[in-house]
Structure 1
Amino acid sequence: MAPNSRIVLVRHGQAEHNVTLDYNIPDAPLTPLGRKQAATLARTIPDLQAEAELIVSSPLRRTLQTALLGFGPALARLGGASRGLVCLPQAQECNDLPCDTGSDRATLEADPEFAGIDFGGLPDDWTSKRGFWAAEAGALASRAAWVRRWLRDRPEKTIVLVAHGDVLRQITADPGTLARAGAPSDHPWRNAEVRVFEFVPDTVHTDDCFLYQRENVAAAGGYGPTSTDIELEGLESEGGAS
């Protein structure tokens, strides 16, 4: 266990659904601009490239692409993606829309872009969006807490996690007042944004093990709305019209 770890949270670069707002794109990949945004991280955060001991990624295509492009120097130093990159399905995006649902293991293993990545830890039901993986408030909070505990229990001191806007809000749930404790953060994560967190000392040895932000590091892109943001905007529009 390394409860004093530095946790570097990263949102993926611009993805196709961020531009078209078409949430039916299966496992939406990065756009050409998103690839440039991700690659920018390899140059703009040299200290983290030198200090990261583990790169962790949601197994969706856009996060894997961001991890490979954005943390190429770190992965090269760690012995390549086969040794330095861990796929964490628990860090997948929240909603059950096609764009937020990952590809099955066989599809990922057949993609030459992801050659060398170990997908052996992906359970058969990781794309089911049911039970533990459900797009429901209770399940999402439980999954986010699971991710925090997993990060806390790793031995590495500097861990990078590449994930998605909505799930990052869950992972960075508010540790503050009783009324807000455990509620998702409302931070509007930008594409290819990097922020550094540490564990809250008072909760680090609990099941919640909340995080608090130490610093903003970089943001290579602008704000790309998540599927939840669009759903909320739609509900607000409907409410205003009625």
Structure 2
Amino acid sequence: MAPNTKVILIRHGQATHNLEDDFEQPDPQLTDLGKKQCVEGLRDAFAAGEWEDFKDLDLVVVSPLFRTLETAFLAFGKEFREEKVPFVVLPEFQETSPNPCDTGSSVESLKATFPSLDFSHCERHDWLTKSHGFYTRTNLGVRATCARKWLFERPEKVIAVVTHSGFLRWLTPQDFPFVEQRDKYRNCEYRGYTFASTTSDDGEGSPFKLVEENWSIELRKAKRAGETETPLLIADPSETAAEEVSPPSQGGDGSFDDPEQPTIVF
């Protein structure tokens, strides 16, 4: 691990399935608003200094779903094209549910759409299968630990991760609840982290625990100061159960795949 590694966790921009919670859409693309969010909420904000470490960015890690790949290119494409910042596409960072909206496209179609990216990690994994094996809902805790361990062992000092709201909860389970109440990432919201000094398993995101930086907490509080309170929805236990006892489409786009916490709905 690089000393004092900085990790910025980013949720993708608004995608077409977000509009009406249409979880049957296969691997949705960004909406026009979602593309605007990526440019104004991420790219322009970073360039203007909202995220101080943007100028030192070393690596972008991205989920292999279409909406996250689009988000990564809109936010960091200039740095990638200029060969300043490489992209690594990792299926470990894909969304949690087995629904069509959270199941990726074939490697062949991804290569055709994003020919400049290396999808070799997707070729080595059975990452499109979520009914059994490593990428099931019941294995989310293990997958999140593997993802944190991968980040922890990287030599880069500043890493951006473009992923999904459901999986973000498993990457940093201790963040929910945070401040006044539980809080789901908005589209194109980002939060800055460093690794905790301890790697013991304390049940709150360890080993390789990510701890949010104070500037990130304060910036999010300031941005949301004018928002109305978001209602809480307590998930039925059947919706958080494994897919062996729950219908495959239950649980939306990963919003119910939550480590021991109720769910906010937007």
Amino acid at match of 1:33: L
1:15-35 deviations in Å (ceiling 9; x for gaps): 111112110000111111101
Distance in 1, matches of 2:136 and 2:146, equals: 14
Does 1:211 find its partner at 2:210?
A: yes
Amino acid at match of 1:187: D
Amino acid at match of 1:43: D
The range that moved more, 158-167 or 114-123, is 114-123
Distance in 1, matches of 2:200 and 2:160, equals: 18
Amino acid at match of 2:76: F
Please, what TM-score do these two structures have when normalized by structure 1?
0.80
Equivalent position of 1:151 in the other structure: 151
Equivalent position of 1:58 in the other structure: 63
Equivalent position of 2:198 in the other structure: 202
Distance in 2, matches of 1:91 and 1:97, equals: 16
Distance in 2, matches of 1:175 and 1:2, equals: 24
Between Structure 1 and Structure 2, which shows a larger proportion of helix residues?
1
> Judging changes above 3 Å, is the alpha-carbon distance between structure 1 residues 211 and 188 closer, same or farther for their aligned structure 2 residues?
same
Gaps of 5+ in 1: 237-242
Equivalent position of 1:161 in the other structure: 161
Q: Give the secondary-structure state (helix, strand or coil) at the position aligned to 2:74.
A: helix
Does 1:227 find its partner at 2:228?
A: no
Distance in 2, matches of 1:96 and 1:186, equals: 24
Following TM superposition, by how much is the alpha carbon of 1:226 offset from its aligned partner in structure 2, in angstroms?
A: 6.4
Distance in 2, matches of 1:195 and 1:173, equals: 14
Equivalent position of 1:174 in the other structure: 174
Aligned residues: 217
The range that moved more, 123-132 or 14-23, is 123-132
Distance in 2, matches of 1:52 and 1:120, equals: 23
> Judging changes above 3 Å, is the alpha-carbon distance between structure 1 residues 173 and 231 closer, same or farther for their aligned structure 2 residues?
closer
Does 1:190 find its partner at 2:186?
A: yes
Aligned ranges 1:132-151 → 2 under 5 Å: 132-136=134-138, 139-151=139-151
Following TM superposition, by how much is the alpha carbon of 1:44 offset from its aligned partner in structure 2, in angstroms?
A: 0.6
Equivalent position of 1:70 in the other structure: 75
Following TM superposition, by how much is the alpha carbon of 1:72 offset from its aligned partner in structure 2, in angstroms?
A: 2.5
Using the aligned pairs only, state the percent identity.
37
Distance in 2, matches of 1:75 and 1:116, equals: 10
Please, what TM-score do these two structures have when normalized by structure 2?
0.73
Following TM superposition, by how much is the alpha carbon of 1:50 offset from its aligned partner in structure 2, in angstroms?
A: 1.6
Aligned ranges 1:62-141 → 2 under 5 Å: 62-79=67-84, 84-111=86-113, 114-122=114-122, 123-129=124-130, 130-136=132-138, 139-141=139-141
Q: Give the secondary-structure state (helix, strand or coil) at the position aligned to 2:194.
A: strand
Distance in 1, matches of 2:115 and 2:33, equals: 22
1:67-105 deviations in Å (ceiling 9; x for gaps): 0001224324544xxx61110110000000000011110
Contact kept? 2:165, 2:254, Cα under 8 Å = no
Contact kept? 1:6, 1:157, Cα under 8 Å = yes
Gaps of 5+ in 2: 231-250
Amino acid at match of 1:203: T
Q: Give the secondary-structure state (helix, strand or coil) at the position aligned to 1:160.
A: strand
